Structure 1
Amino acid sequence: MLDYVIALAIFAVLAVVIYIRLSPSDIPKYNQCAEPREIGDYNFDAGFIAVRAMTISETDMRGAINRVILQTPRTRRVAGTLESNAITYETRSLLFGFPDFATVSFLQPREVGNETPLLVIDSRLRFGLYGMGVNRRRVLGWLEQLGPLTVAP
């Protein structure tokens, strides 16, 4: 009897992992700009948003942030181009392949009282309700790699 329970538990775990790995994502749903916010960090159970002033042009920042994000293991661009306002990336966790989505966009001058364009990174999970701070750590790591190209709040 115990053998059947163990086998059933293993099967259930494998079924969940396969579902997570193969389940299609509604990319247009994730390739949306975050609601305009002032400069700062915004924590949510399912994600994290960072809004930063930039010390370089928006065009140069698009290339710089794209290079930094694509250096992240298990990360690929899934929507948008360097010319579009919303660029979305998918990063999968190492063990189970849980997908997280990060959308990079830019607030134009005077959208939230800003004088210059602002960088917005909205990172959130696809499955579950709580990300254990993974998205926050990832985004702050990207911003750290950008160094003096952004201004911390």
Structure 2
Amino acid sequence: MGIVLLAIILVVIAADAWVRLARIDPARFSVEGLAKPTGDHPETGGFQAVREVAEPQAQMTALDKIIRATARTRRVEGSPEAGQAAYVTRSAFWGFPDVTTLWVDGKTVQIRGHLVFGRSDLGVNRARILGWLDEAGL
């Protein structure tokens, strides 16, 4: 009985380490060909929101500040000054990563969040993105 329990604990620890330490393919940070028209766009395993704004660069800077203040979130690529940035937000318990990309396309601010593992994010990316946009007044 003790050996089985130990084996289960070791499997859980290994799975947790794999999720937390697995390298995220940098191709997931690319926004090439992902721009969409103004509106909300649900996706399998994610969500994209596009807002037309008067000053896209200023809005991107404001959103970057809000995103970086989110728990368990860090910017992993780009910057507002570059016009494109990528972030990874990890779930509290298992540390599952979601990738969010934020970029300016013409007069729009585009923000897209998607899971890295699995098929369904259970609406987490939509809620997170809409919360950020609401906080930014968009």
TM-score relative to the length of structure 1: 0.83
Long gaps (5+) in structure 2:
none
Q: Offset of 1:4 from its aligned partner?
A: 3.2
Q: Offset of 1:62 from its aligned partner?
A: 2.1
Residue among 30, 44, 65 paired with 1:32: 30
**Residues 88 and 99, structure 2, Cα contact 8 Å, conserved in 1:** yes
Residue among 103, 106, 112 paired with 1:105: 103
Q: Offset of 1:87 from its aligned partner?
A: 0.6
- Please report the RMSD computed on the Cα atoms of aligned residues, expressed in angstroms: 1.4
**Residues 50 and 120, structure 1, Cα contact 8 Å, conserved in 2:** yes
1:111-144 alpha-carbon deviations (Å, 9 max, x no partner): xxxxxx1111010111111111111110010011
The structure that has the greater radius of gyration is 1
Corresponding residue pairs, total: 137
Long gaps (5+) in structure 1:
109-116
SS in 2 for 1:60: helix
**Residues 60 and 109, structure 2, Cα contact 8 Å, conserved in 1:** no
**Structure-2 separation of matches of 1:95 and 1:36:** 32
TM-score relative to the length of structure 2: 0.91
Residue among 143, 148, 153 paired with 2:133: 143
Residue among 109, 113, 124 paired with 1:123: 113
**Residues 50 and 109, structure 2, Cα contact 8 Å, conserved in 1:** yes
Q: Offset of 1:8 from its aligned partner?
A: 2.1
**Residues 90 and 101, structure 1, Cα contact 8 Å, conserved in 2:** yes
SS in 2 for 1:7: helix
**Residues 32 and 86, structure 1, Cα contact 8 Å, conserved in 2:** no
Aligned AA (2:82): S
Give the match for residue 90 of structure 1.
Answer: 88
1:11-67 alpha-carbon deviations (Å, 9 max, x no partner): 21111100111112222x12211622111111123111011111x412211210111
**Structure-2 separation of matches of 1:62 and 1:52:** 11
